[in-house]
Amino acid sequence: MTIAPAGGGFARALDLVTRVRGVRGAMLVTGDDGLVVAEQLMEGIKGPAVAALAASVARRLGRAMETAGVGATLFWHLQAERGALLVVPAPSGLLVVAVAEPEVNVGLVRLELLRAAEGVG
């Protein structure tokens, strides 16, 4: 697991997420720019690429939600064959992103992502 230099608060927020069984990494990403602020990722996960693309999806989803008149996005989960991407936007504009294995406990990850988002909010 690689740990990018970050403030203690950010590291603690990511710890909440990465300690969940089946989570392969967690990141704090700037929602506007798609840049990595802090990360704790297993080897082989391309942090900057995931950050840029996740932020891009988040922006588009946000627009779709607003257009649909259902308000701001609180949590999203994309399930793929070999894993999942789970994201919670923090009030500060940061995104808390988790990359997980397919059989991860999504409810638990969501809970920890929300707690992490509160922590960095």
Chain positions contacting other proteins, by CB under 8 A: 29-30, 32-35, 48-49, 51-53, 55-56, 59
Closest CB to other proteins among 34 and 89? Answer: 34
**Phi, psi dihedrals of residue 102, rounded to the nearest 5°:** -65, -30
Nearer to other proteins, 38 or 104 (CB): 38
Minimum gap (Å) between residue 108 Cβ and other proteins: 28
Task: Indicate the residue among 64 and 101 with the shorter CB distance to other proteins.
Answer: 64
